[in-house]
Structure 1
Amino acid sequence: WRVKILDMTRIGVDAASQFYDEQDEPIQLMFKLYPWEWMIRERFGRHLITSPTRWVEPPWKMILSNKAILPILWQLFPDHPNLLPASFTSYPFDGVPHAKKPFYSREGANVSLLLDDGQVIAQDGRYGEEGFIYQAFAPLPRFGERYATLGSWVVGDDAVGLCLREEFHPITKNTSYFVPHYFIKS
């Protein structure tokens, strides 16, 4: 494929939901660094699902990036070992440590933690107008003075990448230390 860099404001769409670039060439495949919840608010947003344009990260991924799925998963699979208790209301967590997270958020923005001792740790940001979920607190492992978070990338059934983020506070941010790794099959 011939690659073009295109600003979101330069995307056009026709009545058949085909996306076009600024030279009126159809966009057949697109990779974006722009959150899906922002994409659906663009003037072309209503065409995202019906467009013949293929996405490297498909639109259905917006379901997975929305933390509102967490209470639903908990309701469907209570006590599952890979889930933390989660709710749309705070009352199940009255008096116990928990996290408050906006439906949409990036890198810890607008996340707050209520700890055992009643201390609240909060991160500022521009998210939260859509609503919040509440989730049981699971402390990050701490090594020395830093808290560590692992992120992984899986393509198909293969683990292809891993990142390690470290932060001096228990909420990981976009300024946290970041070390990427990739895997090579031997």
Structure 2
Amino acid sequence: MAVEQITKSRVDGRFYDRHGDHIGVIFKLYPYEFMVEEEFGEACFRDIVNIGLCDAAGRSIGGTVWIEQPLFERDPRSKWLLPTYLEREAPALMTSYARKPIYSREGLGIRLQQEGRVIQEQGMNSGIRKRGFHPPGAGLYA
């Protein structure tokens, strides 16, 4: 069922399908932190005892970038990983990087910096870490 087919009752504030049946389980892909800001967010959490919000288990890891730093720390010579540090631990000589929130979604909170100069930035800051930046045409590095 498409999201557009879900309605919220003005009487009880609960969610219903197009046939008028109460929705008991919703499989969601939308991040909770964005959901609470939406018009329907409050209603969704108010009805939480009557519906099950099923989230894809892998999203708890795949939807975040926090896993990259410990992986890089474990194998800093890996050809598959870019150098990744918590912001306070990044080497001072790291002047080209992507600065990203730990919970980075939809490109929010990202700053691309090349040779100490900001080349692109997208709002929002929380739980920052730095990751190696490989500019187009720069060739491969180890």
Question: TM-score of the superposition, structure 2-length normalised?
Answer: 0.60
Q: How does 1:129-148 map to 2 (within 5 A)?
A: 130-141=126-137
Structure 1 residues 88 and 26, CA gap change in structure 2 (3 angstroms):
same
SS in structure 1 at match of 2:87: coil
The structure with the largest alpha-carbon Rg is 2
User: Partners of 2:133 and 2:2 in 1: how far apart?
Assistant: 43
The answer to whether the 8 A contact 2:7-2:15 is kept is no
In structure 2, C-alpha distance between the alignment counterparts of 1:115 and 1:131, rounded to whole Å: 21
Structure 2: where are the runs of 5+ without partners? 9-13
1:75-134, CA deviations, whole angstroms, 9 ceiling, x for partnerless residues?
Answer: 233322111110112543313322211123344332222212x32223232x22x31110
Greater percentage in strand: 1
The separation in 2 between residues aligned to 1:59 and 1:8, in whole angstroms, is 24
Unaligned runs of 5+ in 1: 11-19, 143-186
- Number of corresponding residues: 120
Can you list the C-alpha shifts for 1:1-54, whole angstroms capped at 9, x where unaligned? xx25368994xxxxxxxxx83232423x6354x225435896649x7xxx4x65
Q: How far off its partner does 1:61 sit?
A: 1.0
Partner deviation per Cα, 1:112-169 (whole Å, 9 max, x = no partner): 22212x32223232x22x3111011211359xxxxxxxxxxxxxxxxxxxxxxxxxxx
Question: In 2, are the aligned partners of 1:74 and 1:84 still within 8 Å (CA)?
Answer: yes
Map of 2:111 onto structure 1 = 112
Closer/same/farther in 2, CA of residues 21 and 137 from structure 1, 3 Å limit: same
CA distance in 2 between partners of 1:76 and 1:59 (Å)? 24
- Alignment RMSD, CA only? 3.6
1:38 matches 2:34? yes
User: 2:98 matched to 1:102?
Assistant: no
Q: TM-score, normalised by structure 1?
A: 0.49
1:26-175 maps to which residues of 2 (within 5 A)? Answer: 26-27=24-25, 30=27, 32=29, 34-39=30-35, 44=45, 51=52, 58-96=56-94, 97-116=96-115, 118-125=116-123, 127-128=124-125, 130-141=126-137
Q: Answer 1 or 2: which has greater helix percent.
A: 2
**Matched residue SS, 1:74:** helix
| Structure 2 CA distance for partners of 1:80 and 1:36, relative to 1, 3 Å | farther
